[in-house]
DNA sequence: CTGAAAGCGCTTACAG
DNA sequence: CTGAAAGCGCTTACAG
């Protein structure tokens, strides 16, 4: 059996109350008792049971993370930073990969509620579920508009879309196509699309957007990309919704004998460390991943402390154009 | 206030005991009571508190994951699969990214213990800590020998190292260098090195291994790679310890005007989806990531159920050579 | 078929 | 400075 507080108490010859006080450094305790208790804890290799503590305190110091998949470099890196920051601040991270499937997300949210997490950071697209439980839940969204009252942290998507599109124009592209997630998702990524469309129209060009399903399913992504090449035979510039998609575009281009960048120019989005290492040639818009993590956690902790009204509903962080050799 | 079982009981006009029974589907309850209780739960939007349940049951259904960093595609993908499998089986995942730092791992293990996780899957190198707590802990290691009694799941590292080295030889390389983690870590990856050395010696060549620090620190990785190129001026084949390192090698080769594959051939290790998409040219040894996840979770659950003696201490899963254009 | 009581391991007023 | 009691929200013998 694992030792408990009463075992420590017995061995130190004090009451459980006193052991608890030593543990929490609360109230006055004589140095001598303190030492005896500490020694007893060591002797029997005692560790406090945080489950019991949480039950009493109504505070678990656990936060839930719901992302499509940490297998994607952007979410992997984001999760890494968030977890690190949380650990430093005494919070633990319960991880959920929903692949953007609505039914999964529903189950995850319920699971997190049952486990009494103090808050949730969400990077998936589902609006309804969170709202439903809102009263009891501190929530921050990353790059998703979940509701009118949930703070959103994101990169400056409009600026990113603008930088990407302007670069392609500057480099002489005439027939530029954009790949983006489904329009109905209402994510701030729609501002990437908006920027693309604005810039295109300003220079008298017709914007064309192909929509990639949100399910992170390679096959359907590949399908859309092939469709794009099939239908847009004159395409000479592609602004992809993320770097992995951009990589698939490069691959398909190669397969079709299109030379990059002379024949076709490609810009991605995200610019994670891994992408930068594996595919440094890719021109991309770099999101400030660590800053996004930092801001999200900070806002969430404030929400947990009950400072709802004072939280900024929108936090836009600066992007950076990284020019490689695909443009 | 969140509703609790007694609130449900009051509204349904029964005792808390009965509500608990309905919740757990235990014992005989009249259909009518069941319906009334369910209705009451709906009415007041009741969710069971799993913290209280865990306290009573001495079972949290949480498992801890300790990996260097989910920002690395291999661990990101592995974590994705593990989390998905766990969720299907009713387990939740508490995530820890230690970057292989021993002091962090120590803190993480203690944190997981305090949180009464049912088991831990470890993919970091530290031996001591886990042993210390062993009595109370179900543990499975991925690609790490943590102790003589902890089951290890890994890809067939020897076979992988053999395939990689033999391919480089077959392609006509004379001066092949291997990059691997620190030898003192005692990970099964040392069999990659062993295979490399065996194959080299069998063909009358001198094996040369450069050691990459385990800290996932780009700068020091880059330092070693530059050192390799500086010192091994005739190098015409490199077998890297993972795909990200291999990508850095390719980059450095380019910087130095070495043409791949005519001038220098490169083989990586891991072959994750992301690598395959971002850098399909890379020849690599593909680990069966999903199988590794599946096996690890299965073994851990068996360990949790107390079946220690019967567990295989070594599970080696088959690798696959993926030939790209870097060899 | 249903309920009152005790207890999971901890903490915090309250009393001394 | 220290301890006995009550309670966090749940579950499970035990009794009826």
The residues spanned by each domain of chain A are 5-48, 59-153+290-315, 157-287
Q: Are A171 and A323 in contact (CB under 8 A)?
A: no
CATH fold for domain B5-48: 434 Repressor (Amino-terminal Domain) (1.10.260)
pLDDT band of B145, cuts 50, 70, 90: confident
Q: Does A270 or A100 have the greater pLDDT score?
A: A270
Kind of pairing between the strands at A283-286 and A314-317 = unpaired
Residues 17-36 on chain A lying near strand C, CB distance under 7 A: 17, 20-21, 23-24, 26
Q: How far is CA A251 from CA A238, A246, A257, A322, B285, in A?
A: 13, 9, 10, 20, 20
Q: How many other C-beta atoms are found inside a 10 Å radius of the C-beta of residue B86?
A: 22
Out of 3.20.80.10, 3.40.50.2300, 3.40.50.1820, 3.40.50.1000, which CATH number does the structure's domain A59-153+290-315 have? 3.40.50.2300
Check A2 against B52: CB less than 8 A apart.
no
Measured from the CB, is B17 under 7 Å from any atom of strand C? yes
| Cα separation, B200 vs B191, whole angstroms | 14
Check A70 against B76: CB less than 8 A apart.
yes
Hey, which residues does B179 pair with through a beta bridge?
Answer: B210
Out of 3.50.50.60, 3.40.50.2300, 3.30.300.130, 3.40.50.360, which CATH number does the structure's domain A157-287 have? 3.40.50.2300
| Cα separation, B51 vs B54, whole angstroms | 5
Query: Phi and psi dihedrals of B321, rounded to 5?
Result: -85, 125
Nearest nt to the CA of B20 via C1' is D11
Check A76 against B70: CB less than 8 A apart.
yes
In 3D, which of A35, A24, A91 has the Cα closest to residue A63? A91
pLDDT band of B323, cuts 50, 70, 90: very high
Of B87, B92, B279, the CB nearest to A278: B279
Check A251 against B277: CB less than 8 A apart.
yes
pLDDT tens digit string along B288-322? 999 999 999 999 999 998 877 788 999 999 999 99
Is B157-288 in the same CATH topology as B5-48? no
The whole-number pLDDT of residue A74 equals: 97
The mean pLDDT of chain B is 92
Q: What is the CATH number of domain B157-288?
A: 3.40.50.2300
Q: For chain A, give me the number of helices (H) and strands (E)?
A: 13, 12
Chain C: positions less than 7 Å from a protein CB are 1-5, 7-13
Measured from the CB, is A24 under 7 Å from any atom of strand D? no
Query: Phi and psi dihedrals of B62, rounded to 5?
Result: -115, 140
pLDDT tens digit string along A54-99? 999 999 999 999 999 999 999 999 999 999 999 999 999 999 999 9
Number of Cβ pairs < 8 A linking chain A and chain B = 140
pLDDT tens digit string along B189-248? 889 999 999 999 999 999 999 999 888 888 899 999 999 999 999 999 999 999 999 999
| Cα separation, A49 vs A46, whole angstroms | 9
Q: Does domain B58-154+290-316 have CATH number 3.40.50.2300?
A: yes
Q: List the single residue in A with minimal CA-CA distance to B3.
A: A136
């Amino acid at each position: 059996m694992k030792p408990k507080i009463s075992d420590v108490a017995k061995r130190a010859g004090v009451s459980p109350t006193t052991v608890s006080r030593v543990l929490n450094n609360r109230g006055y305790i004589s140095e001598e008792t303190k030492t005896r208790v500490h020694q007893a804890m060591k002797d029997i290799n005692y560790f406090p049971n945080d489950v019991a503590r949480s039950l009493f305190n109504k505070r678990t110091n656990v936060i839930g993370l719901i992302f499509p998949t940490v297998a994607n470099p952007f979410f992997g890196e984001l999760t890494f930073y968030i977890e690190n920051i949380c650990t430093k601040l005494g919070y633990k991270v319960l991880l959920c990969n929903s692949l953007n499937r609505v039914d999964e997300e529903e189950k995850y949210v319920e699971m997190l509620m049952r486990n009494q997490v103090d808050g949730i950071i969400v990077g998936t697209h589902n609006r309804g579920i969170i709202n439903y439980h809102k009263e009891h839940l501190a929530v921050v969204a990353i790059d998703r508009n979940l509701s009118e009252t949930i703070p959103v942290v994101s990169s400056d998507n409009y600026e990113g879309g603008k930088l990407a599109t302007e670069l392609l124009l500057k480099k002489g592209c005439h027939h530029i196509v954009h790949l983006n997630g489904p329009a109905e998702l209402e994510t701030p990524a729609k501002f990437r699309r908006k920027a693309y469309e604005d810039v295109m129209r300003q220079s008298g060009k017709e914007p064309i957007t192909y929509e990639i399903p949100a399910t992170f399913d390679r096959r359907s992504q590949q399908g859309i990309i092939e469709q794009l090449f099939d239908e847009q035979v004159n395409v000479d510039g592609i602004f992809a919704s993320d770097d992995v998609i951009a990589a698939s575009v490069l691959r398909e281009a190669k397969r079709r004998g299109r030379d990059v960048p002379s024949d076709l120019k490609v810009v991605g989005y995200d610019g994670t460390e891994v992408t930068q290492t594996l595919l440094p040639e890719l021109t991309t818009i770099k999101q400030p991943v660590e800053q996004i993590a930092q801001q999200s956690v900070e806002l969430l902790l404030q929400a947990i402390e009950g400072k709802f009204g004072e939280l900024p509903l929108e936090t836009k962080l600066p992007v950076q154009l990284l020019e490689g050799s695909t443009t």
